[in-house]
Structure 1
């Protein structure tokens, strides 16, 4: 196993223990609104501390970008960890058992390690660049369906950017008329992991952050799929507008999305 993947998995599992403990005692969890419709719980913060603490034991000089505590510029600029300690906080605080830990490592600007961990189902999705992706040790492959009819797509509502609602719903309508069905689960990291594992055929969403998608992107790519922005380019980390699917289905999805002049 890649030594840094091993540490990422350890960090994700340590965070998972914090999350499960909090989930079993939700009435004691403190919740605050960071911004409109964007919540953070005391468990998010505790899980992030557990992740950073685990990483720092092995790599004290690495840079860290974390959703709750922001950027911590370490001495070694070549290594950057990107962390979402609890992707799916709204699900978590409502007692819906669908959320995840997301940890990615960039080395000299390229994502080399990615982990998405579902602590409720004990499902660990992991990838190392050039070595494929796995779920609990078994190789994952994305679905190879080439056309929209019959597919199952995942998405996320633009709840932090409700000014996109009309455009989003127009795209949703056009895609929905073509596909078998659509899912909105509440955790973009798990949605991408599910694309990698072939559980859903594709994924699209507005306005995501790097910590939502950094690990998931590597899972997707190492499973035979692609991830782009809404124009089919590579600006998704900056714009947060994400489409992921196998290359042929991705092209079909982009054809629909591009009609809306984003």
Structure 2
């Protein structure tokens, strides 16, 4: 497959060689975006100021916009003859994109952490087919690390100067042995109460969904739980991290055990979402559902 020569009518989910080459191109673009974000984060000579602006769903900076422009420009140049759709946090307009194949992009996941200099930010690039991720890139700029996955081909991590290494989740299989990771800032009272009542061995909190999922595929943590409240996470928060996790042996579903569907018309992912090493996934979301029911009954 030459850049720009792959035609969408010839691509389907059962063409692993084509998807592998698409992943290779996306990896190069991911590293380029990492360089942009790191330059802004460090205020390196030549990088403009952050120019933070508040939006309805959170802040946006010049770094978000610069990385977004770069990723879209590079993808469209690499696949200029391909009829891909593009769903990006920075250019999103409500409504489904009427394409089978859609790139789902978050150029800066964890903008608040980026602004606050916690280092816990990431970038996400995913290619979805009919609402399900097939290619995924998650970059962790401050670790100079990039995770990538292709459907059916496993998950890998690469450092700037090293060869890709295949990764897999932990084998811890009892809830009381598991380490949980949750959002540092996006937690309401219901979620906090539920997490306190679950008998995890350890509890950790950090920014960026991509960062949290990286701790699971690295084997340091085992469970990530998200629960929408007045707002909900978006497609671009989950599409790339989901495939990285599932190809590493984990699971990522709703509390009902259903797969997440992306580009459905509403980018919000409402309800409870469970990501885990998969060893006791069904038990985890059943317990979470039970605890939520008890919490809601108490507060009614």
Q: TM-score, normalised by structure 1?
A: 0.89
Aligned residues: 254
The answer to whether the 8 Å contact 1:114/1:126 transfers is yes
**Which of 117, 131, 151 is matched with 1:95 structurally?**
117
**Structure 1 residue 4 and structure 2 residue 4: aligned?**
no
**Which of 193, 206, 216 is matched with 1:195 structurally?**
216
Q: Where does residue 259 of structure 2 map in the other structure?
A: 234
Structure 2 counterparts to residues 66-145 of structure 1, below 5 A: 66-70=88-92, 77-136=99-158, 137-145=164-172
**Structure 1 residue 53 and structure 2 residue 73: aligned?**
yes
Task: Provide structure 2 residue ranges, at least 5 long, that are not aligned to the other structure.
Answer: 1-16, 159-163, 263-268
For 1:253 and 1:171, the matched residues in 2 are separated by: 12
Deviation at 1:226, TM superposition (A): 0.7
Structure 2 counterparts to residues 2-41 of structure 1, below 5 A: 2-25=20-43, 28-35=49-56, 38-41=58-61
Judged with a 3 Å threshold, the aligned counterparts in structure 2 of structure 1 residues 169 and 150 are, in CA distance, closer, same or farther, namely same
Deviation at 1:123, TM superposition (A): 0.9
Deviation at 1:131, TM superposition (A): 0.5
SS in 2 for 1:113: strand
For 2:109 and 2:39, the matched residues in 1 are separated by: 16
Task: Provide structure 1 residue ranges, at least 5 long, that are not aligned to the other structure.
Answer: none
For 2:260 and 2:222, the matched residues in 1 are separated by: 22
Deviation at 1:85, TM superposition (A): 0.2
Structure with the larger strand share: 1
Q: TM-score, normalised by structure 2?
A: 0.78
SS in 1 for 2:175: coil
Q: Deviations over 1:24-83 (max 9, x none)?
A: 1189211111126x111110011100100110101233110000111599x992321000
Q: Deviations over 1:164-208 (max 9, x none)?
A: x22112211112xx1122112111112123222222111111232
Question: Larger C-alpha radius of gyration, 1 or 2?
Answer: 2
SS in 1 for 2:237: helix
Structure 2 counterparts to residues 155-234 of structure 1, below 5 A: 155-156=182-183, 159=186, 165-175=188-198, 178-206=199-227, 207-234=232-259
Q: Deviations over 1:72-124 (max 9, x none)?
A: 99x99232100000111111111111211100001343321001011121111
**Structure 1 residue 250 and structure 2 residue 271: aligned?**
no
The answer to whether the 8 Å contact 1:114/1:215 transfers is yes
Most deviating of 64-73 and 220-229: 64-73
The answer to whether the 8 Å contact 1:127/1:222 transfers is yes
